[in-house]
Amino acid sequence: MKTIKILGMGCPSCQATEDVVRQALQQSGKEAAVEKVEDIQEIMKYNVLTTPVLVVDEEIKIKGRVPDVNEVIELL
């Protein structure tokens, strides 16, 4: 099972990213552990400048924008 982390300090875009991830999981029928990382100190460990960030298995996949559902399905 993959671990998906959504990095962001709780802005609307970060919320939207979480919704997209949940949709992608539902549509693909796959399972993954979804975790939201809202603590700025945690976020900065990933060395990113823009949020939201999508991290799959500790690897940065998308940053600075809200992904598309199909895009996320491909990453699962």
Partner 1 sequence: MLTELANYITFHLLQLAPESAAGHAVQFFVYDTAKILLLLVGIVFIMGIINAYFPVDRLRIYLSNNKLYGLEYFLASAFGAITPFCSCSSVPLFIGFVKGGIPLGVTFAYLITSPLVNEVAIALFAGLFGWKITVIYVSSGILLGMTAGFILGKLNLENYLTDWVRAIQQNAIREEAAFEEAHVPFRDRLPVIAKDAWGIIKGVLPYVLIGIAIGAVMHGYVPQGFFERYLSADNIWAVPLSVILAVPLYSSASGILPVIQVLVAKGIPLGTAIAFMMAVVGLSFPEAMLLKKVMSMKLILTFFGVVTLCIIFSGYIFNIILV
Interface residues with partner 1 (CB under 8 A)?
8-14, 16, 40-41, 43-44, 47-51, 60, 62-68
Write down the least CB distance from residue 41 to partner 1, Å: 6
How far out from the chain centre does Cα 37 lie?
9
Write down the least CB distance from residue 63 to partner 1, Å: 7
Would the CA dihedral through 49, 61, 28, 69 be positive or negative? positive
Contact partners, residue 33, CB within 8 Å, separation at least 6: 1, 2, 3, 4
Active-site residue 11, yes or no? yes
Catalytic residue among 2, 10, 11, 57: 11
Q: Looking at the annotation, which residues are catalytic?
A: 11, 14
